[in-house]
Structure 1
């Protein structure tokens, strides 16, 4: 067979891929199975294996489709999938490309709700230690809900009926649809930046889980948790429970109930004031009776019936202290006067002018002694310096040369002996005013010269 009859691997794979694409039964297929080897790529793509008890198929869900998922695919989850089957050319494997996915047996929104609830509970966002107490008598009440609707009407009418002193500040928000969650987050931020809101009511009327889904979004939950204003969540009816209800500082079954929780009742306040008034009246009456009884007891006491006997010992003691004070004053005055006379005599004996003259004479004597000592020391040092100069001058070899002496050098070293010198060598002779070179003609020992 000719070599041209053989197909390349790439050509064969492309042919099979075209077959897959041409088969209408492989488009928009509905498959159910169990997720395995789930990998969520940072780019947003999801790769996994879809399997049952007999087979498995590699699957991919690209970011454009994965972005619409309300839940997070997890290992072992049973799902219902819609997608296309095609060939991945690089590996030559057929693969399921997923367009939509939902949990098998439970709704996608409910699964997403449970997953987020579990995550936030693990992080501690539902813990009671983070819950803020509602103010007893709020001055400004913020309301985050739709600008028009039954919720805001119910809240306003309830607040006006129960506690008309409170000021209502509406922060309108979209509470349904894809833009609801960002709108609620912005309203929370705006309410917190207002700076004077005492309590916030976050709510809307009832509806399906899809209608209430904005209050199950993670962004809304974290915004509620971060808000420093106490928040009452009132989303839906009494049977509806959202993530916002768990994160908020208090949950109310309806918007009307939230308004009742936010403020005290006017009738209850009046009753509390009257009760406090009665309590104060009874307390003061009992106190007055008690003080009157004490006053009667004091009036009938022995000291108050004979008051002069009460202060007589103190009068006698005061008189004795007065005598002691007078004696002490006289003694102190006499002692101070004697001391003053003694000091006056000493001051007249030691005249300040006489002391100054005497110290001046002492200062002149000290100056004269110091001058003589310095002059004597200076003469001694001058003589020592002159002696040292004369000695240095006597030892200076140049002075010796001036008297006719010279110094012989051999190779830069002083030749102070004939040992080591040979006839014919050249010596450098340093004289007073220069250096001459001389050649050794003869060498005579000192002993031979004496002979």
Structure 2
């Protein structure tokens, strides 16, 4: 302190960020490290079985947490099998014991889910569940792990890595085992869904069977013959109608042609009083008086009958 100027000097040997102690800073740094490695990703987390037959509990054998868990489990489903693996949940030995417990339970096998639990406390009391070794042991577990550490407001790194986080040990027991009524309701829902699926499947099979029956009927020789007969009858009916229409049309055309031929026929001209003169003996038609001479024989064809005549006189037409 400099009394003359009223100044003073402070020499700092250690500093921490404002509002964060050493444990909190280490917690945040470790959390970000493990998050970057993907240990918190939902994709790697395993589902909790609906009705586990055997549950492992890693916790203190004398704490309130184990009593709360057992009480809830017995109340909700008394027949469930519970294996308690006692560990320290506070102090220097807590983290190594928790890691060892998880490894041993995985080696033994036979468990459907493991609850790692302890009651509430300060950040120092919960420090074991913030250790990196515990987080990696939870992530490496082949058995789904539920973290139930502290109270609802307490969060540890174990909570982020675990497959499911429960706010309290009692809540973990409630999450892992549903009530009998809830299970019965789920079974009813599943039964209803299965019934619906079966009915839908049966309806689809009936529709398919109906289609197959129709197909089989079409493949039946008798049915095929009858079908071909019906088709042949329809074709014959259509062919007959088509032939009748064709005959009628051709008859009309023929009648028109005959009429036209009749109008152009020389015989038709004879019926109107005209005649045809043929020179004998070559029977050439006489079109000009110059084609015959007096004394020639000619044949005159009438509408009815013929005349054989001799030429007595030929009159020439001038011009």
* Residue of 53, 71, 75 corresponding to 1:161: 75
| Gapped regions of structure 2 (runs ≥ 5) | 1-9, 211-216, 227-319
Match of 2:49 among 122, 125, 135: 135
Q: Deviations over 1:89-113 (max 9, x none)?
A: xxxxxxxxxxxxx666532211221
Query: 1:291 deviation in Å?
Result: 9.4
- 1:171 Cα shift? 0.7
Deviations 1:302-327 (A, max 9, x none): x8xxx9965988xxxxxxxxxxxxxx
Cα distance in structure 2, aligned partners of 1:236 and 1:283: 44
Give secondary structure in 2 for the equivalent of 1:171: strand
Where does structure 1 lack aligned partners over 5 or more consecutive residues? 1-30, 34-49, 51-77, 80-101, 297-302, 314-451
Matching of residue 197 in structure 1 with residue 131 in structure 2: no
| Shift, 1:262, TM fit | 1.6
The structure-2 alpha-carbon separation of the partners of 1:103 and 1:196, relative to structure 1 and needing over 3 Å to count, comes to same
* Equivalent in the alignment of 1:111: 25
Distance 1:269 1:115 in 2: 42
> Which residue of structure 2 aligns with residue 253 of structure 1?
167
Q: Partners in 2 of 1:149 and 1:292 — Cα distance?
A: 62
Q: How far apart in 2 are the matches of 1:217 and 1:120?
A: 11
For residues 216 and 293 of structure 1, what CA distance do their matches in structure 2 show?
61
C-alpha displacement at 1:119, in angstroms? 2.0
Match of 1:122 in 2: 36
Whole-Å separation in 2 of the counterparts to 1:122 and 1:287: 47
- Answer 1 or 2: which has greater strand percent: 1
Distance in structure 1 (CA, Å) of the matches to 2:184 and 2:105? 31
* 1:292–1:159 Cα change, 3 Å: same
Change (3 A) 1:266 1:120: same
Please show how residues 211-360 of structure 1 align to structure 2 within 5 Å: 211-278=125-192, 310=223
> CA 1:180 to 1:32, structure 2 compared with 1: closer, same or farther past 3 Å?
farther
Distance apart, 1:283 and its partner CA: 7.0
Distance 1:194 1:32, change over 3 A: farther
Q: Highest relative contact order (Cα 8 Å, sep 6+), 1 or 2?
A: 2
- In structure 2, the CA distance between the partners of 1:179 and 1:268, relative to structure 1 (3 Å rule), is same
Q: How many Å separate the matches in 1 of 2:205 and 2:198?
A: 10
Greater shift, 141-150 or 280-289, is seen at: 280-289
Instruction: Give the number of equivalent residue pairs.
Output: 216
Following the alignment from structure 1 to structure 2, what is the Cα–Cα distance between the partners of residues 279 and 104? 57
Label 1:157 to 1:286 Cα distance change in 2 as closer, same or farther (>3 A): same
Q: Does 123-132 or 171-180 show the bigger shift? A: 123-132
Query: How much has 1:118 moved relative to structure 2?
Result: 2.1
Residue deviations 1:67-122, cap 9 Å, x none?
xxxxxxxxxxx62xxxxxxxxxxxxxxxxxxxxxx666532211221221122222
